[in-house]
Amino acid sequence: MSEQNTSNEKSPSQVTRRNFVKNATLGTAAIGLTPLAFPSLASAQAAGKKKLKVGVVGLGGRGAGAVRDIMSADPDTILWSVGDIFEAPMKKIAGINKKFSGRIDTDGGKREFVGFDAFQKVIDSGADIILLTTTPAFRPLHFAAAVAAGKHVFIEKPFALDIPGLKSVVDSAKKAKSNGQSVLTGLVWRYSTHLMEMHKRIQGGEIGDVLSTSSMYCAGGRPNKMPNMKFKPPTMSDMEWAQRYWQNFLELSGDGTLEYMIHGIDRMSWAMGDQMPIKCFATGANAVPVEGANAWDTFSIRYEYADGRTSDFLGRQVPRTFAGGSDIIAGTKGRAVTDGINVSIIKDGKTTWQSKGSLGYVNEHKIFTEHIRSGKVYNDVIGQFEHTHAITIMGREAAYTGQLITDKQLMASTDQLIDTNGLDFKTPFTARPPAEPGKTQFS
């Protein structure tokens, strides 16, 4: 990753991703990474066999899932504090307690916080690790606060929905790195052992030089599709309604591109060596629109890299249509093919290697907690997932506007989709009108 790092910073901990993958696939964790001793309080406290206290901000399905994953990955973790903007998810704590008995300690509920300020209360509760799994729009704000407080942080994808948000996250990630705090991102395909093995083979030259990729990430519908507005009670604020059905709104989810298709774009970027493309052209549509919402459901994106290589990506979230996630990675000596959890390498028309596996939900937390325990610093944002997010925003903007977008234009964008600082249910919310290519301006 250091070769493609857009930042000027060169840290001794930056290893090439080729090395990372090689090391990571040796065992459950990237044990071979250069250990760096950091004097920071957070690392020192967290290292060793002690209990790691976990605080979670956002206890929706994925938040509770992330709690389950980290507690499965490391038997010496305890759930220490919980926050959410809604009261209802607090009921889940009993269910978590059933699965991980004796590993929940919220001080009899005193460390269970409800409200828009709950994130700060969780961060200040004395936890070692903070899981940020709220509606994605809040991620840059919450991440900055967690890093400032010296915590190790898991940030669920997407961690930024626009370029100002991305710059904030990258700044926070750099601070975390120099302070010795680990940061893990929820782009789970990267932590899937069979995909790691395939990419290790690709980077080892097994299919020669990678020439181009063609990827798809298609679902049979939108998750948590917004119901008809007639069900919205008159007493419920527009912001509360939007928070309940956030996946449907560009401002809160970043659109299906950032919220969902980012997984496919990330696999593409992995194969292309985690670089920024220099140009992007895209088309897309709101093929089956949700009345009152603005996120699109269909994208076809072409990326061009500085060396002339291209990547094509197709994403869709339309009910009752063909779905799946796959990549064809074409190299000078063969190709690598993925289809869901099945992967193979094909040379001269013959399958020379194949494997299948599962996603990296637990594996990523093993890597994360093992780094924390050994005083090493993990960070997958810098040089890696910062690009994935930028590339995904690039694709969305190219489709929304219908314009060719360059990397320089993209990174100069000042368009902030929503200001989450001080936001609560009383904050007015009006969704932007759905984009219209040819009319919608890039800014």
Residue 385: phi, psi to the nearest 5?
A: -80, -15
Residue 188: phi, psi to the nearest 5?
A: -70, -20
**Are 80 and 376 within 8 A, CB to CB?**
no
Q: Which of 152, 177, 194, 222 binds other proteins (CB under 8 A)?
A: 222
Nearest one of 206, 199, 143 to 169, comparing CA atoms: 143
Q: How far is the CB of 269 from other proteins (least distance, A)?
A: 21
Q: Which of 26, 76, 87, 99 binds other proteins (CB under 8 A)?
A: 99
3-state secondary structure of 294: coil
Q: How far is the CB of 96 from other proteins (least distance, A)?
A: 7
* x/- map, 59-98, other proteins, by CB under 8 A: --xxxxx-xx-----------------------x--xx-x
Within 8 A by CB and 6+ apart from 210, the residues are 202, 271, 272, 273, 309, 329, 330, 331
Q: Does 320 bind other proteins (CB under 8 A)?
A: yes
Nearest one of 103, 42, 43 to 68, comparing CA atoms: 103
Q: Does 220 bind other proteins (CB under 8 A)?
A: yes
Q: How many helices (H) and strands (E) does the chain have?
A: 15, 15
Q: Does 344 bind other proteins (CB under 8 A)?
A: no
* Element holding 283 (H helix, E strand): strand 279-285
CA atoms 193, 199, 204, 205: torsion sign: positive
* Element holding 364 (H helix, E strand): helix 361-373
DSSP secondary structure of 3-64? GG--SS---TT---HHHHHHHHHHSSS-TTSPP-----HHHHHH-SSSPEEEEEE--SHHHH
Which residues, numbered 230-259, are part of the site for other proteins (CB under 8 A)?
A: 230-233, 236
Q: Does 289 bind other proteins (CB under 8 A)?
A: no
Dig out the tokens for 147 from the structure.
Answer: 């890093």
DSSP β-ladder status, 310-317 and 298-304: antiparallel
Which residues, numbered 6-65, are part of the site for other proteins (CB under 8 A)?
A: 61-65
Q: How far is the CB of 20 from other proteins (least distance, A)?
A: 23
Which CB, 180 or 360, lies closer to other proteins?
360
Which CB, 291 or 348, lies closer to other proteins?
291
Q: How far is the CB of 194 from other proteins (least distance, A)?
A: 13
Which CB, 144 or 288, lies closer to other proteins?
288
* x/- map, 386-425, other proteins, by CB under 8 A: ----------------------------------------
- Which residues on neighbouring strands pair with residue 81, listed in sequence order? 55
Q: Which of 164, 221, 402, 437 binds other proteins (CB under 8 A)?
A: 221
Which CB, 321 or 427, lies closer to other proteins?
321
- Number of residues in contact with other proteins under rule CB under 8 A: 38
Q: Does 164 bind other proteins (CB under 8 A)?
A: no
Q: How far is the CB of 205 from other proteins (least distance, A)?
A: 31
Q: Does 426 bind other proteins (CB under 8 A)?
A: no
Q: How far is the CB of 235 from other proteins (least distance, A)?
A: 9
Which CB, 62 or 175, lies closer to other proteins?
62
Which residues, numbered 347-366, are part of the site for other proteins (CB under 8 A)?
A: 358-359, 361
Which CB, 3 or 87, lies closer to other proteins?
87
Helix axes 61-73 and 361-373, enclosed angle (nearest 10): 50
Q: Which of 26, 223, 287, 415 binds other proteins (CB under 8 A)?
A: 223
Which CB, 65 or 150, lies closer to other proteins?
65
Q: How far is the CB of 340 from other proteins (least distance, A)?
A: 9
Q: How far is the CB of 317 from other proteins (least distance, A)?
A: 7
Within 8 A by CB and 6+ apart from 34, the residues are 12, 13, 15
Helices (H), 234-353: 238-244, 250-253, 255-256, 262-271
Which CB, 359 or 423, lies closer to other proteins?
359
Q: Does 319 bind other proteins (CB under 8 A)?
A: yes
∠ Cα 207 364 151 (to 5°): 135
Q: Does 322 bind other proteins (CB under 8 A)?
A: yes
Dig out the tokens for 317 from the structure.
Answer: 């979230």
Q: Does 188 bind other proteins (CB under 8 A)?
A: yes
Dig out the tokens for 34 from the structure.
Answer: 């250069």
Residues of this chain that interact with other proteins (CB under 8 A) are: 61-65, 67-68, 92, 95-96, 98-99, 188, 219-225, 227-228, 230-233, 236, 317, 319-324, 341, 358-359, 361
